[in-house]
Amino acid sequence: MPGQLGRTIGWRGTQLVINACSTAASRNWIVRGIQFELSSNAPYMCANVQGNDTADGTPVIAYSCGDAPNELWNFENGEILGLGTQSGTSKCLSVGGTGGIGGAVELSTCDGIYQGWELVNGAIYGLPPALPASGPLLNTTNALCVDSAGARSLAVTPNS
């Protein structure tokens, strides 16, 4: 269930939140194939649907990259769709609540509300050019970016 904490397996995932766009390492994302990898000193942290759950409101967390189905995404018509989650159900990367600063990044039914996204050219924020593409992941509705810093840690439920 969303919000329900499971048993911890060695470390904790960090809830992704929405925040003002900046050059902070916690807001600079790299697109690798169809993964969103956090570009920072933390090794290989990806945007990951907690516990492979497809329920609306399921947290999207920064979690160690491992090519798992719950960290694979597809960009289609300005929306980011989760791939390979339970029962093959695709859901959209969304901003919960009122969509303001500190709002949780979560998985939700695709309805277009706080679900438009754009990978911003990092050079706009003074980041060095990188291949593959990298930069802040901007929500086009509220002009805020995905951030992995300053959010609460969540116990990680192992995938079954």
pTM: 0.75
The better pLDDT of the pair 11, 59 is held by: 59
As a whole number of angstroms, the longest Cα–Cα distance in the chain is: 42
Tell whether the model's pLDDT for residue 124 goes beyond 80: no
Torsion sign (Cα): 136, 117, 146, 9: negative
Tell me how crowded residue 37 is: count the other CB atoms within 10 A of its CB.
Answer: 22
Q: Give domain 14-153's CATH architecture.
A: Trefoil (2.80)
Residue 7 banded pLDDT, cuts 50, 70, 90: very low
> Can you tell me whether residue 130 is helix, strand or coil?
coil
As a whole number, mean pLDDT of residues 34-42 equals 69
- With b for 16 or more beta-carbon neighbours within 10 A and e for fewer, the 8-35 pattern comes to eeeeebbbbbbbebeebebbbbbbeeeb
Residue 27 pLDDT:
85
- With b for 16 or more beta-carbon neighbours within 10 A and e for fewer, the 49-66 pattern comes to bbbbbbbeebbbbbbbbe
Closest CA to 16 of 32, 29, 31: 29
Contact by Cβ (8 Å): 107, 2? no
As a whole number, mean pLDDT of residues 131-142 equals 78
Residue 122 pLDDT:
63
As a whole number, mean pLDDT of residues 55-79 equals 86
